[in-house]
Amino acid sequence: MFAVNNRKVFSVPLNTMCYCKIKAILKRSKTRVPLRRNYSSPAGVIGNDVKSLHSIISPPVAKIRNIGIMAHIDAGKTTTTERILYYSGYTRSLGDVDDGDTVTDFMAQERERGITIQSAAVTFDWKGYRVNLIDTPGHVDFTLEVERCLRVLDGAVAVFDASAGVEAQTLTVWKQADKHKIPRICFLNKMDKTGASFNYAVESIREKLKAKPLILQLPIGEARTFQGVVDVVNKEKLLWNSNSGDGKDFERKPLLETSDPELLKETIEARNSLIEQVADLDDEFADLVLGEFSDNFDLVPAEKLQTAIHRVTLARAAVPVLCGSALKNKGVQPLLDAITMYLPSPEEREYGFLQWYKGDLCALAFKVLHDKQRGPLVFLRIYSGTLKPQLAIHNINRNCTERMSRLLLPFADQHVEIPSLTAGNIALTVGLKQTATGDTIVSSKSSALAAARRAGRGEKKPGENNEAESLLLAGVEIPEPVFFCTIEPPSVAKQPDLDHALDRLQREDPSLKVRIDPDSGQTVLCGMGELHIEIIHDRIKREYGLETYLGPLQVAYRETILNSVRATDILDRTLGDKRHFVRADLEARPGEAPSSRAVIEYADCVSEDLVQASREAIENAVHSACLQGPLLGSPVQDVAITLHSLMIHPGTSTAMVNACVSRCVQKALKKAEKQVLEPLMSLEVTVTGDYLSPVLADLAQRRGNIQEIQTRQDSKVVIGFVPLAEMMGYSTVLRTLTSGSATFALEFSTYQAMSPQDQTALLNQRSGLAQVL
Ligand SMILES: Nc1nc2c(ncn2[C@@H]2O[C@H](COP(=O)(O)OP(=O)(O)OP(=O)(O)O)[C@@H](O)[C@H]2O)c(=O)[nH]1
């Protein structure tokens, strides 16, 4: 997925962009105020305002908030994060994303001393609460990583540009958060911007996200006149003095009939409808309101309303909406209050799998970074049990046991070495060399097996290797890469260095796939988008000092078949004094439901015993035969294979069974009527009216299918579908067509059948005929 603001995107490795920005913020403060790090702190006092080591290490779980910030590109996620870190005391000066201290500059410096470890999660305290702000990558080329990060959040803040409302990427991340059942609050940022409209943004949340907005604040002024917000729950106005610089100081005053009659009236109306809305969604609150306060909603105590809003948010029945301007330092402190007040603590979230562990350790590795001095640093979210340094842990995904050497807590401006960390917390571990992003960590193999037994998954399902597999926390579907290209080291001697770099990068980013081309032996990078591959290329150069060469970027096509065909194959081979004989008869047909893996069935006449003995060989054979289709050598999808008969002479090796079945499947696929499938992307282009025509004309040439053109404030939003193959280098073309004023978001939608003409053109091009014709 590309979501491009041309100003920035190509200069920054996007999958590291968000956390790099956090790092940038930290760095800025570091250059002005040298900070002392403490990696082996026995200290009882850390920082000025922290009372005891105990309160740092073990905050009561009810006071922990593990949250993420999600947004469409440019909505102001970084600026808001920066303000949050500043007001909470994490950083000591305020920077500006536009003031020239760019992320790229910063990264170059950062690289000289290795990766700063706060980058994936920062921990700070706000009014007695422990907040772990977990970085969610902003770019949907990194869908998988976004999902993995969402998995460890208990709540999220969705940041919107108040002049644009819900944008394409907001919708995507919102759906992902829905999937992971994450309670959210909305922050309508950029209230100071020309065109900002509180009502428009709220309506777009209602309409596009199908969410129920709970209006907890009203803006005082809009665009140029924006001065502050009204706290609807408490009937107070919060005003930031425009001369106060960093926005730390603001006035909180009750709304009075004498001084603010209009605003008070508006607020009371908003509060009453908020009370009605919450009462509709929460029975306990409804009972209270209808019982004690039915005559006068105005008397409903703020605390009761807040508690009910918390419950409603937790149940995901509605979303609290706040507003402000991060850039102008307005509205961020109340946002922090809302995070602690309305988003859930870890113990309020329901994690069904916890019952299987009965208090044993269960954690998810959600980020791996490589630090030059300390080696791999793994961020873990602890769901149950306790983590201790020097502890041997079992990694379910890799089925290995390894030992962590140190346990750190990235607290405020220091890293505190700690003796243990309990459930609900985010830990930073040193010494885990095999653990990769997305792995599930438990205390031992026997603990995993005991949990598997409790989960009642003792019986083995086809394709499942062991019981422990069912306990993997990640449970995230790995999206199929849509782009690939070959990558070559500068010399053959450097191939091991390249392999090493790719190995590390894959541990950090599981959506990156690396394979060896069976024909040429070349290394092939498979990624989620043009940008993803560019970023990997750039990181190999910058972080590993290797100048690599990329082959042309290719779209990952798929193939399928359109009719049923039957094929027979015999393998009869004598090796030494042993005869191996297999005869397979099978049918390949279009699958009933879309599926990237072939569905395998066995005819009744195939002996059950035979299938039991050779199931693994048969299934591996079918899946590997489907990896390379007969048209383009692309994976074959949406097919079903029925094995009608299988004869195996006694003594025949399973490798021979595999070879015969695989050949037979390939034979059948070759005989069938074949179809190329191409990745189809959903596209959203936001453009001002005067550039609409050239954008539409260009999309028509790209085989684009426009579904809708919406009006969003002063802009037009073109929504449609377009084949990925037509979108190479689109950002440059769009920039030229619109003088850099348009933005676009592109996201994988599905694989669609190519038209016969397009398919012929593609096949001719691949076989070199295009040049001849
Ligand atoms: N007027 C106005 N501009 C803002 C506000 N917050 C951020 N911006 C500007 O919007 C642009 C994008 O801000 P960022 O904070 O980088 O937004 P982001 O969501 O992190 O962007 P990406 O990381 O690129 O997705 C910058 O030019 C900011 O200065 C705001 O409250 N008001």
Angle at 336 between CA 334 and CA 337, to 5 degrees: 60
Supply the residue whose CA is at minimum distance from atom 8 of ligand 1.
Answer: 76
Q: What is the pLDDT of residues 592-642, one digit of tens each?
A: 888 888 999 998 888 777 777 788 889 999 999 998 899 988 899 999 999
Q: Are the C-beta atoms of residues 232 and 215 closer than 8 Å to each other?
A: yes
Q: Which of 74, 82, 136 is the best mutation target for the ligand 1 pocket, counting ligand atoms within 8 Å of the beta carbon and taking the most?
A: 74
For residue 84, give Cα distances in angstroms to 81, 160, 349.
5, 16, 24
Q: What is the pLDDT of residues 659-689, one digit of tens each?
A: 999 999 999 999 999 999 999 998 989 898 8
Supply the residue whose CA is at minimum distance from atom 12 of ligand 1.
Answer: 74
Supply the residue whose CA is at minimum distance from atom 14 of ligand 1.
Answer: 76
Q: Can you give the pLDDT at residue 40? A: 30
Stretch (H or E) spanning 730: helix 730-738
Distance 138 CA to ligand 1 centre (A): 13
Residue 315 has pLDDT above 70, yes or no: yes
Q: Which of 19, 97, 157 is the best mutation target for the ligand 1 pocket, counting ligand atoms within 8 Å of the beta carbon and taking the most?
A: 97
Distance 490 CA to ligand 1 centre (A): 39
> Residue 330 has what DSSP assignment?
B
Distance 345 CA to ligand 1 centre (A): 29
Q: Which residues line ligand 1 (CB under 6 A)?
A: 5, 8, 17, 71, 73-79, 97-98, 138, 189-190, 192-193, 325-327
Q: Are the C-beta atoms of residues 40 and 166 closer than 8 Å to each other?
A: no
Atom number in ligand 1 closest to CA 328: 31
Atom number in ligand 1 closest to CA 326: 31
Supply the residue whose CA is at minimum distance from atom 30 of ligand 1.
Answer: 190
Angle at 283 between CA 280 and CA 289, to 5 degrees: 75
**Known binding residues for GTP:** 71-78, 135-139, 189-192
Taking residues 4-24, report their average pLDDT: 35
Name the pLDDT band for 101 (thresholds 50, 70, 90): very low
Q: Which of 78, 157, 159 is the best mutation target for the ligand 1 pocket, counting ligand atoms within 8 Å of the beta carbon and taking the most?
A: 78
Atom number in ligand 1 closest to CA 324: 31
Residue 429's closest CA among 748, 117, 135? Answer: 117
Distance 325 CA to ligand 1 centre (A): 10
Q: Can you give the pLDDT at residue 581? A: 93
Residue 404 has pLDDT above 50, yes or no: yes
Distance 73 CA to ligand 1 centre (A): 8
Distance 543 CA to ligand 1 centre (A): 28
Residue 585 has pLDDT above 90, yes or no: yes
Supply the residue whose CA is at minimum distance from atom 13 of ligand 1.
Answer: 76
Q: Can you give the pLDDT at residue 411? A: 64
Percent of the chain surpassing pLDDT 90 = 40
Q: Can you give the pLDDT at residue 473? A: 54
Q: What is the pLDDT of residues 215-272, one digit of tens each?
A: 999 999 999 999 999 999 999 999 987 676 788 888 899 998 888 899 999 999 999 9
Taking residues 408-428, report their average pLDDT: 79
**Known binding residues:** 71-78, 135-139, 189-192
Q: How many residues does the chain have?
A: 773
424 burial (CB, 10 Å; 0-12 / 13-18 / 19+) is buried
The rounded distance, in Å, linking the Cα atoms of 143 and 149 is 10
Q: Can you give the pLDDT at residue 521? A: 85
Largest CA distance in the chain: 105
Distance 76 CA to ligand 1 centre (A): 3
Supply the residue whose CA is at minimum distance from atom 2 of ligand 1.
Answer: 190
Least confident of 73-82, 406-415, 717-726: 406-415
Q: Can you give the pLDDT at residue 102? A: 31
Supply the residue whose CA is at minimum distance from atom 1 of ligand 1.
Answer: 193
Residue 504's closest CA among 368, 319, 701? Answer: 368
Which pTM does this prediction carry?
Answer: 0.73
Counting other chains too, the contacts that 516-522 makes at CB distance below 8 Å and 24 or more residues apart are 517/486, 518/628, 520/486, 522/486, 522/487, 522/488, 522/551
Q: What is the tally of helices (H) and strands (E) in the chain?
A: 21, 36
Close Cβ partners of 436 (under 8 Å, ≥ 6 residues apart): 365, 368, 397, 398, 506, 507, 508, 510
Atom number in ligand 1 closest to CA 96: 29
Q: Can you give the pLDDT at residue 116? A: 39
Give the amino acid at 192. D
- H helices of 88-197, in order, are 103-112, 143-151, 168-179
Taking residues 126-143, report their average pLDDT: 75
80 burial (CB, 10 Å; 0-12 / 13-18 / 19+) is buried
Residue 761 has pLDDT above 80, yes or no: yes
Q: Which of 6, 70, 79, 731 is the best mutation target for the ligand 1 pocket, counting ligand atoms within 8 Å of the beta carbon and taking the most?
A: 79
Distance 168 CA to ligand 1 centre (A): 16
Distance 99 CA to ligand 1 centre (A): 12
Name the pLDDT band for 377 (thresholds 50, 70, 90): confident
Average pLDDT over the chain, rounded to whole? 81
Distance 231 CA to ligand 1 centre (A): 24
Would you give the end-to-end CA distance of the chain in angstroms? 34
